[in-house]
Amino acid sequence: MFKTTLNIEGMMCGMCEAHISDVIRKTVPDAKKVYASHSKGIATFLSEAIPSEEELKNAIAKTGYSCLSVESVPHEKHGKMEEMMKTDYKNWMPKGMVMGSACGAALLLIGSIVVALIPIAEPVKKVLVPILFVVTAIFLVVTIWMYLMYRAFSYNGKRKMSKQIIEGVASYVKLPDGGKGLDVGCGSGALTIACAKRNPKASFTGIDRWGKEYASFSKALCENNSKAEGVSNTSFLQGDAVKLPFDDETFDAVTSNYVYHNIPSSDRQAILLETLRTLKKGGTFAIHDIMSKMKYGDMQEFAKKLKDMGYTEVKLVDTTNGIFMSRWESAWMGLSGSTILVGRK
């Protein structure tokens, strides 16, 4: 459910309010709780979907009033956002992994203490206890690292690094009116939705394989996040980045964020070419990932290859120099080599 507020110029009395309310009901058939106030210069109503701003403005203009603005937001019920309307972009460091590592460290510590105290052969104890304590220390270090990653990536935390990266990648994506965009490996839908919000007169498709390895991510989660953000120009489907279910030259823009390095492959440049295959002539791309030589091979040569194929404006932008993160952050988070590949087909 969405609440739409219109700022209207020209209402002078109760008759004007009734007239505006009438226009709203005719333009938006499922409108509920329609309310207009000439003293406040506004009209509000509830609807299941976000109404067309253009249709509302045109309908009101025909009656002699002026609609200055239209704003639709998820509707709050009884002072709390309905459960289905809450965004949940998850965390790139799953909470379950942090808790699992912490529990493992705790059990190892208890086991080490027990072995140190129980009466067993001294030679065995001298070997076993140090080993257990070393393994425990390793688990503790890993747990602390995971926790710090979890805090940095949290959408609700102070650093909000994942949100900064999503918004940063989306800033490179610009679609023409009526255009179509593709986000490969959409996960929870964060980048798809961010791009759709920046390009409200275009549509954006998110594709992901989801599956057991990423059980907390799903098509339903993406759709709920899209609704919660008040975005209606998105769609989501299941598919494989290695073989995308789209014809050549289908999209006006393609994007992706930290996806391909997770795909077991000896040739990730081939995966990039599979994504670019779906891009229209003149379309743009913005693909962000850990493009280290070990994972991707020589990306400078790949950029040259794209230029030789006729691609233009091809650039490799290092995102660890303060654009999305600092050098230090990229080092301790294991994100060194993070680069965004941009250009035009």
Q: Are 248 and 306 in contact, with CB atoms under 8 Å apart? A: no
- Cα angle 106-108-114, degrees, rounded to a multiple of 5: 105
Which segments of the chain does DSSP mark as H helices, in order? 14-27, 53-61, 95-117, 122-153, 161-170, 190-198, 219-228, 268-277, 293-296, 299-308, 327-332
pLDDT for residue 270:
97
Mean pLDDT of the chain: 90
Tell me the per-residue pLDDT of 49-83, one tens digit each, with 9 for 90 and over: 888 888 999 999 988 898 988 888 887 654 444 44
pLDDT for residue 96:
86
pLDDT for residue 78:
47
The pLDDT of residue 296 is above 70:
yes
pLDDT for residue 76:
62
Higher per-residue confidence, 1 vs 141? 141
Sign of CA dihedral 193, 216, 224, 252: positive
Q: Are 182 and 207 in contact, with CB atoms under 8 Å apart? A: yes
The pLDDT of residue 84 is above 50:
no
User: Percentage of residues in the chain with pLDDT exceeding 70?
Assistant: 97
The pLDDT of residue 213 is above 80:
no
The pLDDT of residue 250 is above 90:
yes
Tell me the per-residue pLDDT of 219-241, one tens digit each, with 9 for 90 and over: 999 999 998 888 989 999 999 99
Closest CA to 316 of 289, 290, 341, 299: 341
DSSP characters over 87-120: -----SS-HHHHHHHHHHHHHHHHHHHHHHHS--
pLDDT for residue 29:
87
Residue the block writes with tokens 């937001």: 73
pLDDT for residue 172:
95
pLDDT for residue 280:
97
The three-state secondary structure class of 287 is strand
pLDDT for residue 81:
44
Closest CA to 139 of 98, 196, 192: 98
CA dihedral 23, 24, 27, 28 (to 10 degrees): -160
Closest CA to 234 of 211, 207, 214: 207
State how far the alpha carbon of 280 is from the alpha carbons of 58, 127, 202, 306, 314, in Å.
Answer: 33, 64, 15, 15, 16
- pLDDT (mean) for 130-148: 93
- pLDDT (mean) for 284-303: 97
pLDDT-derived band of residue 119, with 50, 70 and 90 as boundaries?
A: confident
pLDDT for residue 9:
87
Closest CA to 44 of 32, 60, 58: 32
Q: Which of 12-16, 24-28, 186-190, 324-328 has the lowest mean pLDDT?
A: 12-16
Closest CA to 187 of 91, 319, 295, 289: 91
